[in-house]
Structure 1
Amino acid sequence: MIESIFYSEFHPIAGPQIVYQVPEDYITKEEFDSVHIYIITKPDLQKSVITVNLSQHTIVCCPVCIENPKYKRNALIFNLCLAFKKDSVTWIYESVVKKLASYLTQMELENEFLFSEEKKKQIPSFLKKVKDHLNNYGYCRTTVTMGESCTVHLKIAQCVSDPPIIEEYDVPVLIQDKLVTDYTWDLTTQQILHYVDGSSHVAKIASEADIEVNRVKACLQNLLHYQVIQNLSIFQYSNVYTITPQLQQLATDKQLQEECIQFVGRKEKKQPTFYDIYKMYCSLTAGITVKDICSRYNPHSLLIDERKLLQYGLLKGFIRRLHKYPIKLPTSETESSKQSLSYQMFDGCHHFDEICCKYGLSNENLDELIESDPSIVICWK
């Protein structure tokens, strides 16, 4: 958030000084004097974005020099600066100060906005509008009248975090219309999209599309960034899920209930009842596998697609997957040379999906390997 915005320039007699500030005296004369060499700068730093750190504040600015014989000392050196609290995120305002410097330079060259004492009186109101609009709305569109009008357009850069890393065991699921996305992306991404079916994991998609797996991961990460896909875990009947507090939202939102019924139904003439769907969700808990739930309720007879049921619950955050993390306890016995390399990942940081995908094992193979070694324990989380 912008705490203060001020206009400073080099006075031919007094030297560097703050001419206008909104609000006044946020940056004191003493603070300004201690760093003015970075605000009213030498030619090497002009037209560059500069960040100045004070004890309590951070200043972001872009100094400008306009050379012309009409100015005293043949140059006008000025800087419009934004001030923030110490340790604020300021990089998102760098494009704003650069654009403000460009606007003021243009207005000065065309209309003597900074040279004319009469026109210069508009600067305080201009600074206040810029500060208030950027803080309240994230953008600013204001008009400055100087005989001719000049409209200033400013916008704070969006702070976008990097998308999560795509793993080979992730299952991408489309959350936008496939007909729309097919015509939006490059040829490699379009080819990959044909294999995104909500059940194939990344390694399988790479194999079927005949594309190197790292390229597939890069394309999917891009799709994830633009919210075209969402990642889920591999579906298996041995999976264990548990509900989250968000499930309560499904119990009270009628529109969400209708959407859920449409999504999880088996696409037959008759639709499942919400009561049966909600009952199956509530039965998901630690120690109960999907196979156990299906044996108890027979979702086929209830017109429910169990894969879609779990997929919808994960997409909406109503349920979450409980993963199995094997841990190899230290033993005094000498390790057999025949032991699988997967033992290296039995440290409680790698779950079954990751280990199976890396070593080409099935869930059953890994279970047998663990059951045959009493020094391995399982942590569910």
Structure 2
Amino acid sequence: MLTQENNCSNSYKLENIGANIGKEGIIRCIFLSEFHATAGSKITCQTPINFISKHAFDLINAYILPKRELERQVLTVNTLNIKIVGYPVKIQCEKYARNAFYFNLCFVCDHYCRSVQYEPIVKKLSEFLIMMEMEVNFLSNEDYRPRIQQMLNKIITDLNETRVCTITEEETTVFLKIVKIAEDPPEVTDYEVPMLKQEFENMSLDQWDLTTQQVLPFINSVYHVAKISALSDVENALVKACIQNLCYYDVVELVPLFKYSNVYMCTRNLQKLARNQNFAQECLKYVAMNEDESLPTLYSVFQLYSQMTHGVNLKTLCIRLSPRNNNINERKLVSFGLKHNLIRLINKYPIFTGSIPNVRQKLYNGLNHFDEICCSTGLSTQKLEELIDSDTNVTVLMK
């Protein structure tokens, strides 16, 4: 429980919580707790002062200074509408009252915010405090309390404002930095196409491991994962792991396989083309077949995107509007649209409605779309469509 004063000063609007769940939040408080030989568990220093009340600490101190099995491990406690990240430490030494000194430096943030980015900092600071305690009794000597308080004030201010902080005590300097930790990369499937981001298209291969060096030359926004595996002569599982790693480092992104038989549908994000001039210019440069010629007009690009709808495949659209006559590369148009969520692919899902399916028909379960089935069976899309069109026991859903 927070004090009444801080409940008011640090309150948040309930309607904003949903939008911020899982996002990085600021550090609300930093506190240092210790186990005193006579007074028991207590907060020695904290900033802001009295952010965590004594009553609240009494409710959670069992998790702040836990049993020895949890010592020297990063622990996160989510309770009382706050999230606490700590690193409980025990220093064994005969000079202490009970032959040991227990402490925990904790960061506090909102309960709905992401806190994993603070874990390395909490651990690093705790290791620094261990060293300082062993050298000069920095934590157990009350004469150092004002300096500890100043240190905590500096850490919370600098990390919240600039995400970096430098601490100097005695002859030791510690550099702290909040590093953005990316989300877990998506699972990579055989039928997806990895596409290099523009800023990495001309990068050197020397900085990558041997597997990535074999795979990267075949990432061209055209080949799907299964084909890259075959062309690079690298095991399929290794190619998937490699591409997943490149996704994590934001070097590539995954898009659906490009086919003229594909059906796309524009999304509400298409209005961004009309409202954002810089974004529109970026789009025109990207989709141009030849940048040395006049760029395509926004009208012609917008017309192509806006006519993507159910029942109209890309081939029909190209015949109707002749994008290349307007200096538009339809492959790049689709890639840009998928990348920025201006359009989405309408997948076809076959469902077998007969009684006894054969091996291929077992894949027609309404969960596997055409690209998945083609990769599993080795059939071309055209051949699969012919087989399904001639099979009266199969119904196709599009979504």
TM bucket (normalised to shorter chain) is 0.7 to 0.9
1:126 equivalent in structure 2: 151
Q: Determine if the alignment matches structure 1 residue 61 to structure 2 residue 79.
A: no
**TM-score under structure 2 normalisation?**
0.80
Would the alpha carbon gap of residues 343 and 14 (structure 1) be closer, same or farther in structure 2, given more than 3 Å must change? Answer: same
Q: Give secondary structure in 1 for the equivalent of 2:308.
A: coil
2:43 equivalent in structure 1: 18
Deviation at 1:104, TM superposition (A): 1.8
Q: 1:343 aligns with which of 361, 376, 381?
A: 361
Q: 2:231 aligns with which of 195, 208, 232?
A: 208
Q: What do the CA deviations read for 1:181-240 (whole angstroms, capped 9, x no partner)?
A: 423212221221111222111111111222221111111111121122122222222111
Deviation at 1:265, TM superposition (A): 2.6
Q: 2:374 aligns with which of 321, 339, 356?
A: 356
Deviation at 1:30, TM superposition (A): 4.7
Q: Determine if the alignment matches structure 1 residue 366 to structure 2 residue 389.
A: no
Alignment of 1:257-296 (within 5 A): 257-267=280-290, 270-274=293-297, 275-296=299-320
**TM-score under structure 1 normalisation?**
0.84
Deviation at 1:269, TM superposition (A): 5.2
Bigger drift between 98-107 and 288-297 goes to 98-107
Q: Give secondary structure in 1 for the equivalent of 2:311.
A: coil
Would the alpha carbon gap of residues 22 and 284 (structure 1) be closer, same or farther in structure 2, given more than 3 Å must change? Answer: same
Deviation at 1:41, TM superposition (A): 6.0
Q: Determine if the alignment matches structure 1 residue 313 to structure 2 residue 331.
A: no
8 Å CA contact 2:351, 2:365 repeated in 1: yes
1:173 equivalent in structure 2: 195
Q: Distance in 1 between matches of 2:118 and 2:232?
A: 43
- Structure 2 residue runs of 5 or longer lacking an equivalent are 1-25
Would the alpha carbon gap of residues 2 and 303 (structure 1) be closer, same or farther in structure 2, given more than 3 Å must change? Answer: closer
Bigger drift between 188-197 and 43-52 goes to 43-52
Deviation at 1:288, TM superposition (A): 0.8
8 Å CA contact 1:64, 1:101 repeated in 2: no
Deviation at 1:260, TM superposition (A): 2.9
Alignment of 1:84-103 (within 5 A): 89-103=114-128
Q: Give secondary structure in 2 for the equivalent of 1:295.
A: helix
Deviation at 1:268, TM superposition (A): 7.6
Q: Distance in 2 between matches of 1:187 and 1:157?
A: 27
AA paired with 1:301?
Answer: N
Would the alpha carbon gap of residues 297 and 115 (structure 1) be closer, same or farther in structure 2, given more than 3 Å must change? Answer: closer
Q: Distance in 2 between matches of 1:77 and 1:268?
A: 66
AA paired with 1:302?
Answer: N
Deviation at 1:66, TM superposition (A): 5.3
Bigger drift between 183-192 and 272-281 goes to 272-281
AA paired with 2:254?
Answer: N
Deviation at 1:169, TM superposition (A): 0.9
Q: Give secondary structure in 2 for the equivalent of 1:197.
A: coil
8 Å CA contact 2:72, 2:87 repeated in 1: no
2:103 equivalent in structure 1: 78
Q: What do the CA deviations read for 1:98-137 (whole angstroms, capped 9, x no partner)?
A: 2222222222333443344333222223223333444455
Q: Distance in 2 between matches of 1:255 and 1:231?
A: 24
Q: Give secondary structure in 1 for the equivalent of 2:367.
A: coil
Deviation at 1:170, TM superposition (A): 1.0
Q: What do the CA deviations read for 1:285-319 (whole angstroms, capped 9, x no partner)?
A: 11111111121122333332222222222223222
Bigger drift between 239-248 and 179-188 goes to 179-188
Q: Determine if the alignment matches structure 1 residue 185 to structure 2 residue 208.
A: yes
Q: Distance in 2 between matches of 1:302 and 1:57?
A: 57
Deviation at 1:92, TM superposition (A): 4.3
1:380 equivalent in structure 2: 398
Q: 2:133 aligns with which of 94, 101, 108?
A: 108
- Structure 1 residue runs of 5 or longer lacking an equivalent are none
Q: Give secondary structure in 2 for the equivalent of 1:353.
A: helix
AA paired with 1:249?
Answer: K
Q: Distance in 2 between matches of 1:89 and 1:128?
A: 22
8 Å CA contact 1:6, 1:80 repeated in 2: yes
Q: Distance in 2 between matches of 1:239 and 1:352?
A: 10
Q: Distance in 2 between matches of 1:177 and 1:54?
A: 43
Deviation at 1:340, TM superposition (A): 4.4
How many equivalent pairs are there?
371
Q: 1:164 aligns with which of 174, 186, 208?
A: 186
Quote the sequence identity (%).
Answer: 39
Deviation at 1:49, TM superposition (A): 3.8
Q: Distance in 1 between matches of 2:82 and 2:305?
A: 52
1:219 equivalent in structure 2: 242
Would the alpha carbon gap of residues 327 and 126 (structure 1) be closer, same or farther in structure 2, given more than 3 Å must change? Answer: same
Q: Give secondary structure in 1 for the equivalent of 2:166.
A: strand
Q: What do the CA deviations read for 1:222-271 (whole angstroms, capped 9, x no partner)?
A: 11211221222222221111112222222243333333333323328533
Q: Distance in 2 between matches of 1:238 and 1:380?
A: 13
Q: Determine if the alignment matches structure 1 residue 237 to structure 2 residue 260.
A: yes
AA paired with 1:300?
Answer: R
8 Å CA contact 2:33, 2:45 repeated in 1: yes
Would the alpha carbon gap of residues 11 and 138 (structure 1) be closer, same or farther in structure 2, given more than 3 Å must change? Answer: same
Q: Distance in 1 between matches of 2:142 and 2:361?
A: 78
Deviation at 1:83, TM superposition (A): 4.3
8 Å CA contact 1:62, 1:97 repeated in 2: no
Q: 1:254 aligns with which of 271, 277, 295?
A: 277
